[in-house]
Amino acid sequence: MRDFPSCFGENGVQVADASSNSSKTSQNLVNCLYSAELSGRSCVISITWSRNMMGQGLNIGVDDSKNKSLCRVDIKPWLFSKRRGSKTTDAGNSKVDVFWDLTNAKFGSGPEPLEGFFVAVLFDLQIVLLLGDLVKEAHRRTNATPPASNALLLAKREHIFGKKVYSTKAQLRDRGRVHEIMIQSETAGSSDPCLEIRIDKKRVMQVKHLLWKFRGNQTILVDGLPVEVFWDVHNWLFDASTGNAVFMFQSSASTEKTMPSQGLRESELRPVGFSLILYAWKND
């Protein structure tokens, strides 16, 4: 088994180890990266949802294939921030428009809205990314016509919290089924700590003897397709007061993979499949 920090190559998804430079109180965020085509030009669209004591926040970034920023929209997490609006940016001889409406958005335990919203990114009046369930409202507001989006979800990074059980819902491949993912740990006060992972309540993986196997990888099957799971629970075992565990679910096989290291680097993303990265923080 390869060491977790080095078991990924240079062509996959890289994410920051959040425990290295910030506390869990500031980590209530979800970040998604999408690959899209802008009039035949490839780009990466970053959507970051955040929440803190001041309210909800949303950050949208559009970068071209050379990592040049084409557009940035930052809705700061203030209680009375603008929940509906638009922004237009010139990108050479083209135009990037971003529309959003979070007025009636409904949220669960995390910062990402569940329903009652839309976020649309347009390039030369064509929608290249459309999020949310208010599809008709998005088309009305943007004056755009189908096809609605050509974007592919490349990676999702999320912070989850718990004591022994950590759960979230996610698609493990673009446009696939939404699955319930549950991570259950027995680490505190145990002489032989272990963890298990369940998909839709079915146990698909169990790791015993975590004191020796605190980093590793294993392949599971989801919907009949292989998903490679990487874990690093070193901080749970040896730095529980401030550290988090990191889990990565990678739904496509590739000869080169990238371990969570420093920053979700859009410039180093390649369309090698979908990666879900979970930072699991222990609640006090």
Q: Which of 74-83, 110-119, 238-247 is the least confident region? A: 74-83
Q: Are residues 116 and 128 in the same domain?
A: yes
Which residue would you say has higher pLDDT here, 19 or 74? 74
Q: Are residues 143 and 213 in the same domain?
A: no
Which uninterrupted H or E stretch holds 236?
Answer: helix 234-238
Q: Kindly report, residue by residue over 275-284, the tens digit of the pLDDT.
A: 999 999 987 6
Number of helical (H) and strand (E) elements in the chain, helices listed first: 2, 19
pLDDT surpasses 50 at 146 = yes
Residue 195 domain boundaries? 4-26+158-282
In angstroms, the Cα distances linking 270 to 7, 128, 152, 276 are 17, 18, 12, 15
The total number of structural domains in the chain stands at: 2
Give the pLDDT of residue 53.
Answer: 79
Give the pLDDT of residue 8.
Answer: 35
Q: Are residues 35 and 149 in the same domain?
A: yes
Q: Are residues 149 and 162 in the same domain?
A: no
Q: Are residues 119 and 58 in the same domain?
A: yes
Q: Rounded CA gap, 278 and 268, in Å?
A: 19
Calculate mean pLDDT across residues 147-163.
83
pLDDT surpasses 50 at 12 = no
Query: pTM value?
Result: 0.78
Q: Are residues 135 and 188 in the same domain?
A: no
The residue among 134, 68, 151, 65 whose CA lies nearest residue 99 is: 134
Q: Are residues 255 and 115 in the same domain?
A: no
Domain end point (choices 104, 133, 153)? 153
- Please enumerate in sequence order all residues whose Cβ is within 8 A of that of 276, keeping only pairs 6 or more positions apart, or say none: 155, 156, 158, 170, 172, 181, 248, 249, 250
Q: Are residues 191 and 87 in the same domain?
A: no
Q: What is the mean pLDDT of the chain?
A: 78
Q: Are residues 128 and 181 in the same domain?
A: no
Domain end point (choices 124, 153, 182)? 153
Q: Give 220's pLDDT tier (boundaries 50, 70, 90).
A: very high
Q: Give 238's pLDDT tier (boundaries 50, 70, 90).
A: confident
Asked if 118 and 138 count as a contact pair (C-beta separation under 8 A), the reply is yes
SS3 137: helix
The residue among 46, 154, 112, 110 whose CA lies nearest residue 281 is: 110
Q: Are residues 104 and 147 in the same domain?
A: yes
Q: Kindly report, residue by residue over 252-264, the tens digit of the pLDDT.
A: 744 334 444 444 4
Which residue would you say has higher pLDDT here, 1 or 243? 243
Q: Which of 19-33, 58-72, 127-141 is the least confident region? A: 19-33
Dump the DSSP string for 167-230.
Answer: EEEEESSTT--EEEEEEEEE-TT-SS-EEEEEETTEEEEEE--TTT-SEEEEEEEETTEEEEEE
Calculate mean pLDDT across residues 125-145.
89
pLDDT surpasses 70 at 151 = yes
Q: Are residues 34 and 22 in the same domain?
A: no
